[in-house]
Homo-oligomer: A and B are copies of this chain.
Amino acid sequence: MYRFTNDYSEGAHPRILDAMVRTNLEGNFGYSTDPHSKHAHELIRAAIGRPDADVHILVGGTQTNATCLCAFLRPHEAAIAAASGHICVHETGAIEATGHKCIAMPAAEGGKLTPDTVRAAVAAHPDEHMVKPKLVYVSNTTEVGGVYTTAELEALRAVCDELGLYLYLDGARLSSALAAGGASLTDLGRLCDAFYIGGTKNGALFGEAVCILNPALKPDFRYIIKQHGGMLAKGWLLGIQFEELFRDGLYFEVGEHANGLAMKLKEGISALGYAFGSDSPSNQQFPILPNRVLDQLKDDFHWEVTSKPDAEHTEIRLVTSWATQPEAVEAFLSALANAKE
């Protein structure tokens, strides 16, 4: 059985696990006040080119989004997101649970938000009888594998400046976005009010590093982390993981490995004549395959179903990660080639 189910099916990259084992008994202060955490924060500040950034590492993605939006928004302020965005769909209303509406807008190609969409959301909310749009939420990569270019993020930054909005980026799969040639870490440091660098899906056991650039959003963030249950007692575990990810480029390697195998899948599946639900340059691929073919593959490979375009076809999601082996990809392409339609 080869798994393409998701990018969080295995534990940690071996280098990260080694670091955790090595430091297990050294004794550290709690709640991310330890030297490993401070060092990790330094490494991240250097990587994003913002020595002034506040860095806080939380445990998981939904927790991070909810904590950030709760910290950044006043009660009547809302987030603008693609209707397919993680906060709109896959977080069990965590943002609403902190009191804020997510304004769901139709996504453009690749699951992305555009400046025009942001403008339309703001125009539709003109007065105090409606929520006040205040934050633009994007994720990189998007839910359908899309990757924001530097120019696209610059355009979003410009519309945010024009309309008085914050730009927030969810980097749950950021290593893959970076490896796909999207906006760089220093672009994010330059363009976002805040963003997070995902660990869980990029080689860590868990951990998401929030970088706050806008000084107005920095005060008292640790209070909000604690209030939302995101302050890990053994916080150095987060520091150790990001130290390893950012010490010598492991974070980038992880994305390159995953994307390399994803591109092999994409090319191989295309070469066999199959189409995709989304043209993804990143570690999630969405081929549309005949049900009869999938029946022949399903005992040897695991994936998720994303939609059923017609009675005979299914769109599936294949995900690669740091843990995916080249032979898994080869096995899949070989089985697909041999399957009978």
Contacts and interface: CB of A to CB of B under 8 A. Distances in A.
A229 B62 contact: yes
Interface in A60-86: 60-64, 66-67, 70-71, 74-76, 78
A92 B27 contact: no
Interface stretch (A108-116, A124-132, A154-162, A243-251): A124-132
Interface stretch (A12-20, A145-153, A179-187, A333-341): A12-20
Interface stretch (A93-101, A262-270, A276-284): A93-101
A288 to B, nearest CB: 20
A169 interface: no
B230 A229 contact: yes
Number of copies: 4
Interface string A188-207: 00000000000011000110
Question: Most chain-B Cβ atoms within 10 A of its Cβ — which of A11, A60, A61, A222?
Answer: A11
A5 interface: yes
B131 A92 contact: yes
Give the interface size class of chain A. Answer: 35 or more
A29 interface: yes
A17 B21 contact: yes
A92 B129 contact: yes
A3 interface: yes
A66 B64 CA distance: 16
A59 B62 contact: no
A232 B97 CA distance: 18
Question: Most chain-B Cβ atoms within 10 A of its Cβ — which of A70, A75, A102?
Answer: A75
A11 B20 contact: yes
Question: Most chain-B Cβ atoms within 10 A of its Cβ — which of A61, A223, A232?
Answer: A223
A294 interface: no
Contacts of A14: 24
A233 B220 contact: no
B220 A128 contact: yes
Interface string A210-242: 000000000010111111111111100100000
Contacts of A306: none
A273 to B, nearest CB: 30
A296 interface: no
Given A17-B24, A128-B92, A128-B220, A75 B8 contact: no
Interface of A: 3, 5-6, 8-12, 14, 17, 20-21, 23-31, 59-64, 66-67, 70-71, 74-76, 78, 89-94, 96-102, 104, 128-132, 200-201, 205-206, 220, 222-234, 237, 323
5 contacts: A8-B30, A9-B27, A74-B220, A94-B227, A96-B99
